[in-house]
Amino acid sequence: MAAKDLQGLSVEKLQELYQDKKQDMHTLRINAAMGELKDTSQIRKVRHEVARILTVLRQRELAAGVAQKDK
Q: What is the pLDDT of residues 31-42, one digit of tens each?
A: 999 999 999 999
The DSSP code sequence of 28-62 is HHHHHHTT--S-THHHHHHHHHHHHHHHHHHHHHH
Domain 3-70 indexed as CATH 1.10.287.310: yes
pLDDT, residue 45, reads: 97
Per residue in 40-59, pLDDT (tens digit) is 999 999 999 999 999 999 99
Contacts of 31 (CB under 8 A, 6+ apart): 37
Q: Is the pLDDT of residue 61 over 70?
A: yes
pLDDT, residue 1, reads: 80
Q: How many other CB atoms are there within 10 angstroms of residue 46's CB atom?
A: 20
What is the spatial distance between Cα 15 and Cα 30, in angstroms, rounded to a whole number?
Answer: 23
